[in-house]
Amino acid sequence: MEVFVLGSGVGIPNLNRHYPGLFVESEGRSFLIDPGPGSLRQLLKLGFTYNDVDSVILTHFHPDHCLDFVSFLFACRYPLVPREKGVLVVGPAGLKDFYGGLKSVFGTTVIPERFELTLKEVENSSIAIDKTELKIEPSAHTGNSISIRFKSASGKVLCYSGDTEYCANIVELAQGADLLILECSFPDGAEVKGHLTPSHAGRIAREAGAKKLVLVHLYPMCEDQGILSQCKKEFIGNTEIASDLMKVTI
Ligand SMILES: [Zn+2]
Ligand SMILES: [Zn+2]
C-alpha cells in the first residue's frame, strides 16, 4: 500500500503546508481522501491525474476536506478527456444531501455526463472495495464525521483519523496499524474541542500499538512549538510530522 500526503496543513492558507488531502493506492485501486482545495494539482506533482482516482472518501464536509471534490467533478466533464470510469464516493451520513446541495449551487457542472457516480453513506460499517477492506467509525468532530481503517489483502493496515478529538473509536480503529495518520491541529496547552494535540495523538498511537505515526492537519501555531517532543512524551515509537507530497509505503 502506498500513501501520499497531498497536504499537511488546514483551512488556513499557508505557503509551507498545503490544504488537507491524502492519496492511497491499495491492491490496484486508488483512493482520494479529503480533497481540500488544490488537491488535484498536488496529485499532478506526484505524477497522478484526476483520472487516476477510483474512489473518493470524504471524512466530513468542512471545506478544507472536500472543496476539490467539486473541482474533480468539473474536471471529469472536460470534453477532450471525458471520464467514463465510474466513481465510488464514500462519506458519512449527509453525503447525499451534501451532493444535492452541490448540484443546486453548481448545476450541471458537477453532474457526470458519461460515468456513474455512486454515493455510499457509511457509519459503523465495514465495506470491501475490491481487495481492500474499510472499517469506518464515527469520529469526535462534527456529529457526522468518520475515521477509517484500511486493510489490504496482504494484511497491511492504514488508519486515518480525519478530524477528531481523542475518543475510543479512533483507538479501536488504529489497533496494530502499520501506519497511523492522525490530525494534530494544535500544540499542547492550546487544545481546541473536536481536535487533537500532540500528546493526544501520542496517547492514541501508544494505546493502539501503532507501528508508525504521522501527524497531519497542523495549524500554523504548531510550527516551532516542539510538537514532536510533546508527542513523544506519550509515544516512543516511530513518529514523523508530515510534509507535503511525502510518500509512505507499508
Ligand atoms: Zn480540518
Ligand atoms: Zn473539520
Note the pLDDT of residue 11.
Answer: 97
For residue 162, what is the domain's CATH number? 3.60.15.10
* Distance between Cα 55 and ligand 2 center (Å): 20
Separation of 163 CA from ligand 2 center, angstroms? 5
What's the whole-number average pLDDT of the chain?
97
pLDDT tens-digit readout, 95-141: 999 999 999 999 999 999 999 999 999 989 999 999 999 999 999 99
How many angstroms separate the CA atoms of 200 and 196, rounded?
6
Grid cell digits, residue 214: 504521522
**The total number of structural domains that make up the chain:** 1
pLDDT of residue 224: 86
CB 205, CB 172: distance < 8 Å: no
pLDDT for 79 equals: 86
> Ligand 2 being an ion, which residues bring their Cβ within 5 A of it?
62, 163
Say if residue 70 is exposed, middle or buried (CB neighbours under 10 Å; 0-12, 13-18, 19+): middle
Q: Name, in order, each residue with C-beta under 8 angstroms of 248's C-beta and a sequence gap of 6 or more.
A: 2, 3, 179, 212, 214
| Proportion of the chain above pLDDT 90, given as a percent | 97
Distance 113 CA to ligand 1 centre (A): 31
Q: Is the pLDDT of residue 81 over 90?
A: no
117 CA distance to ligand 1 middle (Å)? 25
- The C-alpha cell of 21 is what? 488531502
Comparing CA positions, the residue from 97, 72, 94 lying closest to residue 85 is: 72
Judge whether 126 and 134 are in contact, CB under 8 Å: yes
Distance 109 CA to ligand 2 centre (A): 26
State the Cα–Cα distance between residues 132 and 157, nearest whole angstrom.
Answer: 10
How far does the centroid of ligand 1 lie from the alpha carbon of residue 99, in Å? 19
C-alpha to C-alpha distance for 183 and 216, rounded to whole angstroms: 5
Express each pLDDT in 179-233 by its tens digit. 999 999 999 999 999 999 999 999 999 999 999 999 999 999 999 889 999 999 9
Mean pLDDT lowest for which of 74-88, 106-120, 128-142, 143-157? 74-88
What pLDDT is attached to residue 177?
98
C-alpha 19/C-alpha 38 separation (Å) is 7
Cβ atoms 98, 106 nearer than 8 A: no
Closest ligand to residue 36's CA: 1
| Range of the structural domain that residue 169 is part of | 2-249
Say whether pLDDT at 20 is over 90.
yes
